């Protein structure tokens, strides 16, 4: 009799256990995703655990561990890599990431454009291309702007590499750097809003980067993971994404 009760209790516990989705999310998109996941979790009686970091590092983790349910990097090229390896089950476009010049609040050193990245009186900062999407996007932008020689001059003028968009804003706010290239949306965060100013770059040089969210092939919860992908692409999801700095066109 006691054994039957224990078995029934165990079965009841399993039935009540919530589905948990493991979501690899680039740093810049985390505030928007955090807002959206709360309402989704309530509606679908699930939990979403966010692993945040530089997009390249996240991509490497996915390809190494072969685990997880969702992936949203700062550049669609990382989704392409996963697709080529057969790791993407379903994907949708959810907005654009845009690169811009970032300077400390008030622009005290009167920085105007990309040419200032090689000024000898400035300490320039870029994202690390080996860890994050802003590093790779910055290199591509500088190459389009004035070629490989200019990229090398900027790299020669670097004080240090930032690990990700959040780290870059911290370094600029704390006056450890004078100018950097970062995702526009990262300036919408509470920490950066009063600490940095954003100087736009022409799209001719800094092409908007597609944001693609994907369900990973090795998910055990494809139906609910796909539902979250659709939620980010829905009118409600797009309203939140736009408020956090991710345009749809």
User: Could you say which residues of the chain have pLDDT below 50?
Assistant: 1-15
**What pLDDT is attached to residue 16?**
57
Q: Quote the CA–CA distance of 27 and 74 in Å, as a whole number.
A: 8
Q: Treating both helix axes as pointing N-terminal to C-terminal, what angle do 55-65 and 133-156 enclose, rounded to 10 degrees?
A: 130
**What pLDDT is attached to residue 2?**
44
- Give the tens place of pLDDT for each residue, 112-139: 999 999 999 999 999 999 999 999 999 9
Which ranges constitute the DSSP H helices of the chain?
2-16, 30-44, 55-65, 76-84, 133-156, 165-173, 190-193, 222-233, 235-243
CATH of domain 15-96+209-243: 3.40.190.10
Q: Quote the CA–CA distance of 25 and 203 in Å, as a whole number.
A: 25
* Residue ranges matching CATH 3.40.190.10 in the chain: 15-96+209-243, 99-200
**What pLDDT is attached to residue 18?**
85
**What pLDDT is attached to residue 209?**
92
**What pLDDT is attached to residue 87?**
97
**Which of 166, 168, 186, 188 is closest to 123 using CA atoms?**
168
**What pLDDT is attached to residue 13?**
45
Q: Which CATH superfamily is domain 99-200 in?
A: Periplasmic binding protein-like II (3.40.190.10)
Report the length, in residues, of the chain. 249
């Amino acid at each position: 009799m006691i054994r039957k009760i224990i078995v029934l209790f165990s079965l009841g516990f399993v039935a009540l256990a919530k589905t948990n989705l493991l979501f690899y999310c680039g740093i810049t998109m985390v505030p928007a995703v955090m807002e959206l996941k709360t309402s989704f979790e309530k509606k679908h009686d699930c939990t979403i655990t966010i692993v945040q970091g530089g997009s390249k590092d996240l991509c490497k983790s996915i390809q190494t561990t072969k685990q997880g349910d969702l992936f949203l990097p700062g550049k669609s090229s990382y989704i392409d890599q996963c697709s080529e390896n057969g790791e993407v089950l379903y994907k949708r476009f959810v907005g654009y990431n845009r690169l811009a010049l970032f300077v400390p609040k008030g622009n005290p050193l009167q920085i105007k454009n990309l040419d200032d990245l090689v000024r000898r009186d400035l300490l320039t900062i870029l994202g690390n291309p080996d860890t994050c999407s802003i590093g790779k996007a910055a290199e591509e932008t500088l190459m389009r702007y004035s070629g490989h020689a200019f990229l090398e001059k900027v790299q020669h003028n670097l004080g240090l590499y930032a690990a990700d968009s959040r780290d870059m804003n911290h370094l600029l706010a704390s006056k450890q750097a004078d100018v950097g290239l970062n995702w526009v949306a990262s300036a919408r965060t509470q920490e950066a809003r009063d600490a940095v100013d954003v100087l736009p770059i022409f799209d001719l040089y800094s092409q908007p980067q597609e944001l693609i969210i994907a369900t990973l092939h090795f998910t055990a919860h494809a139906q609910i993971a796909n539902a979250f992908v659709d939620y980010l692409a829905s009118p409600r999801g797009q309203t939140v994404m736009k408020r956090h700095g991710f345009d749809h066109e």
